[in-house]
Amino acid sequence: MSRNRLGRPPAYLLLPAGLAVALLLVPLASLVARAPFGSLLERLAAPEVLDALWLSLWTATAAMLASLVLGLPLAWLLARVEFPGRSLVRTLVTVPLVLPPVVAGVALLTAFGRTGVVGAPLRELGVTIPFTSTAVVIAHTFVALPFFVISVEGALRATSQDYDEVAAVLGARRGAIFRRVTVPLAAPGIAAGLVLGWARSLGEFGATITFAGNYPGVTQTMPLAVYTLLQEDLEAAVALSLVMLLVSVVVLALLRERWFGQAAR
């Protein structure tokens, strides 16, 4: 046993550490304990639950794809190309990370609302975004994109730029280097960023309810459904929460190799 070679860990460190674990685990355990296992399948098969589940899955996936298409080029620019204002762009991109989600929702409303900079011209064309499923996807992308960009930029920076130079010397143009060298080498980091962004979308609440509303079947995602059900049917809310807990555990398992595997190595 090598861990105690420097002496016993003192109680004033062990105690708070134990409390921290308890604080994190007790609520989860009681959630599982309160779950109505007998009627679980029946409750989850209820139409409004299935609607919320399906909406959550496809909007989170759409937001993930939007993050990939928009975020990967941005992450690459931030990691590989020197341009004036680069650190300013990086700072601005990270703002939504610390923004309260409800503020994000209000901001999106002012931009895409009927009189917003984007919303007004769109309305001329007969397109309304707020309180539609599209709004859900936009809200999700807004909160997930910064996660994706920051995590992929880190992955790109961690990949040696030497290989880019080797590829250039061998005659590959910038775009070919990106496709054939940079992206394949950073693929694990990009995948982790996608999973992280997807999980972030799935749990999104504040921006969605503010910008897209809470319409069953249209904008009522899983977290919104849990919140709504909580008012009338605690057991149903617990059942739904259990599903989301399960999803989180699966995400954690997917990322485990990447995060904890490296730390343990």
Distance CA(156)–CA(163), nearest Å, equals: 12
* Residue closer to another protein (CB basis): 151 or 182: 182
- 141-160 in b/e form (b: 16+ CB < 10 A) is bbbbbbbbbbbbbbbbeebe
Distance CA(145)–CA(63), nearest Å, equals: 8
* Residue closer to another protein (CB basis): 91 or 161: 161
* Residue closer to another protein (CB basis): 167 or 239: 167
Task: In angstroms, give the least distance from the CB of 169 to another protein.
Answer: 5
Token pair of 81, please? Answer: 């190309």
Task: In angstroms, give the least distance from the CB of 227 to another protein.
Answer: 45
* Residue closer to another protein (CB basis): 93 or 186: 186
Distance CA(27)–CA(105), nearest Å, equals: 28
Distance CA(188)–CA(247), nearest Å, equals: 20
Task: In angstroms, give the least distance from the CB of 41 to another protein.
Answer: 44
Task: In angstroms, give the least distance from the CB of 165 to another protein.
Answer: 6
Rounded to whole angstroms, the maximal C-alpha distance in the chain is 73
Residue with structure tokens 């409390």?
19
DSSP letter for 257, please: H
Token pair of 199, please? Answer: 């999980």
Distance CA(129)–CA(112), nearest Å, equals: 7
Site of interaction with another protein (CB under 8 A)? 162-163, 165-173, 176, 180-181, 184-185
Distance CA(58)–CA(137), nearest Å, equals: 9
* Residue closer to another protein (CB basis): 169 or 264: 169
* Residue closer to another protein (CB basis): 84 or 171: 171
Angle at 211 between CA 207 and CA 216, to 5 degrees: 95
Task: In angstroms, give the least distance from the CB of 35 to another protein.
Answer: 44
Task: In angstroms, give the least distance from the CB of 180 to another protein.
Answer: 8
